[in-house]
Amino acid sequence: MKTHYYLGWFNNYFPEKLIRALQEDITERKSLVMISSNPSLDDVDGAAERSWLEQAGIRFDDYHLINYRVQRGDADTLIQTASVIFLLGGDTIKQNRFLKDYELLEPIKKSTALILGASAGAINMSAKWLCSKNFGHHVDTSSVYDGIALNNFSVLSHFDLENNMALVQSELSTLSEEMTVYVSNKDCALRVSEDKIDILGDVYVVSRSEIKKMDETF
């Protein structure tokens, strides 16, 4: 049973409800494999994301970071043997390019590991996502990117939705005609296991240009 967590960002660690769910789901703790969001820089090392897990009492025997310093073949091996894969937050476009450069989309999708993504990482776990300057991306024109497609929906994670509700609805209108889009801010999570989706925090769904808040189910 594959389980995926689409996370926002947590300034004060994971809330207790999320900790309990992760502790139950992460039964194998041999290897944590983190995928950089700015793979040309060594200082993007997942320290924040790793601290969330450690504060929750979830530790691993081995920790690995995949960036451009890691050979492609080695990256593929690390993913195949991972207990948990964590796509780090940061630069969504650079992470997306790296995933495609290293041909990691299919290996991650086929992995039996539990998969986490925070902010940019959660977005890149999507089937598709909208790259727009209105969402903080440094681009002149909006375009739709293909993600890993762990589940057949789109995610906009770690965005100030509450103050930009009309903007979000307008920007995501076209994509929402093709697939459901889940939108969340900080301190939020979507847990997907098989066909069941659990919600933590303020998460909204945009479908066929309509937006509504989801009930929390954690």
Q: What are phi and psi of 36, to 5 degrees?
A: -65, 150
Show the tokens assigned to 187: 């301190």
Q: Rounded distance, CA 205 to CA 184, Å? A: 9
Q: In what order do the strands lie in the sheet with 62-66?
A: 62-66, 31-35, 84-87, 114-118, 3-7, 189-193, 196-200
3-state helix, strand, coil in the chain (%, to 5): 30, 25, 45
- Which pLDDT does position 36 carry in this prediction? 97
Looking at domain 3-213, its CATH class is alpha beta
pLDDT of residue 88: 98
pTM for the structure as a whole? 0.96
Tens digits of pLDDT across the chain (218 residues)? 799 999 999 988 999 999 999 999 999 999 999 999 999 988 889 999 999 999 999 999 999 999 999 999 999 999 999 999 999 999 999 999 999 999 999 999 999 999 999 999 999 999 999 999 999 899 999 999 999 999 999 999 988 877 888 999 999 999 999 999 999 988 999 999 988 999 999 999 999 999 999 999 99
Model pLDDT, residue 122: 98
Whole-angstrom distance, CA of residue 102 vs CA of residue 124: 14
Contacts with 170 (C-beta within 8 Å, 6 or more apart), sequence order = none
What count of other Cβ atoms lies within 10 Å of the Cβ of residue 21? Answer: 19
So what's the pLDDT on residue 131?
96
Please give the pLDDT value at position 163. Answer: 85
Instruction: Judge whether 134 and 171 are in contact, CB under 8 Å.
Output: yes
Amino acid at 108: I
Exposure pattern of 168-184 as b/e (b: 16+ CB <10 Å)? Answer: bbebbeebbeeebbbbb
pLDDT given for residue 156 in this prediction = 96
Quote the pLDDT of residue 160.
85
Structural domain spans, the chain? 3-213
